[in-house]
Structure 1
Amino acid sequence: MKSPSQFRQLVSNLMSVCNLGIEKFGDETAYLVAMNNSMERMMYDMVVSPTGALDHDFVEMMTPHHRGAIDMAQNYLRFGSNEQLKRIAQEIIVDQQQEIAAMRLAIGEQLPPSVPAPTQVGKY
């Protein structure tokens, strides 16, 4: 079994290879870079050393997975054009945030204080 640091290096190497092919996509370059960055961050953050507390470890691995879905949905909202997919992306963001909160509460953790969404900063 690979150590967390070996796995992180493997993920980083794979994402670097993926980034090499981005040039051929022209207008999609910024979107693809953002998505690759989201995927790399998610994969890196999902590597959790077991603590012996199965419930805690599950939440620690699932939280970055859900945050990755949120990042990807936000990337689509930023770059996408299909209104139906944008609505779905908005639903994904809300659903994933609620699932993270539910998992944290299920293991007895307090929720962090609310903060404005990145698109709301400075509006209020």
Structure 2
Amino acid sequence: MDFKNINIMVGMAALFSTVTLNSLANDLSENHIHKIANYEIQSDSKIYTVLTPLKEVIPQNLKGFKEYDEYAHSIMMSNSSQIFLTKDVGNNFVIYMIPHHEAAIITSIGALKYTHNLEVKNLANRIIHAQEREVEVMQKLLETGELRGNDNGQFLDKMKKIMTDMMGEMKSYNGQVSSGEAITKHYLENMIVHHKGAINMANMYLKYGKNPELIKMSQKIILSQDEEIKEMEQILKRAK
């Protein structure tokens, strides 16, 4: 299966014009998902998949932190990459981790624009730079087909459960509260949950995965994001 050609065919078929909600929505409360909007992807094809270049995924026209928050949720719940799912552990890992990283990048861009906390600005910049590089690595591995050949029928269900549990714990931003302090608190609280989800996925990959690059990346995610969780918890304590 040539994933690059599939991506081109998906684009030509114009199967999706916006980010849409997938089956994860079935496992989340209606109160949580009704606020999540569909935002148009800023790409020539207007179609999002996990192989869409990151520069085309990041929107230029969002207004207010609330839209960044909702857009990030929509990216994680998009169904437009389901075509790439197989039984391969590495393949399915990056299909879940790429939008997870993209959501962290998008939310961090929003936080940079609206928080006044210099510690949080520094943290958001570090998250953006680290996860941009990792998205590029994962997209390359997926596109070249290097992640095939390690089948496990249980792994996909485990990844879905981690993502569903994480999404159920994350909160939608209350757009009526627009102060820098409120945005900072929301960003940190949600990013702690988000980081824990990434750590759980990385640990799951280390249990089942075999690709050397993804093993190294997973180990890095566990170490770096655990440290960032501690950092965010300390910032929240000082803000009280």
Give the counterpart letter for 1:74 in structure 2.
N
1:29 aligns with 2:91: no
1:7 aligns with 2:33: yes
Contact 1:59 1:103 in 2 (8 A): yes
Cα offsets for 1:37-88 (capped at 9, x unmatched):
11111111112564x5332221111111111110110111011012332122
TM-score by length of 2: 0.35
Contact 1:80 1:86 in 2 (8 A): yes
1:105 aligns with 2:234: yes
Contact 2:166 2:194 in 1 (8 A): yes
- Which structure dedicates a bigger proportion of its chain to helix? 1
SS of aligned partner of 1:76: helix
Give the counterpart letter for 2:33 in structure 1.
F
**2: CA distance between counterparts of 1:101 and 1:59?**
11
Give 5+ residue unaligned stretches, structure 1: 15-21, 110-124
Mark the CA change 1:59 to 1:4 in structure 2 (over 3 Å): closer, same or farther. farther
Matches within 5 A, 1:1-124: 5-7=31-33, 25=87, 27-48=151-172, 50=174, 53-108=182-237
Contact 1:56 1:107 in 2 (8 A): yes
- Could you say what the CA RMSD is over the residues aligned between the two structures, in angstroms? 3.3
TM-score by length of 1: 0.63
Give 5+ residue unaligned stretches, structure 2: 1-28, 37-72, 78-84, 89-150
**2: CA distance between counterparts of 1:98 and 1:69?**
13
Contact 2:32 2:171 in 1 (8 A): no
What fraction of aligned residue pairs are identical, expressed as a percent?
32
Contact 1:48 1:60 in 2 (8 A): no
Contact 2:199 2:225 in 1 (8 A): yes
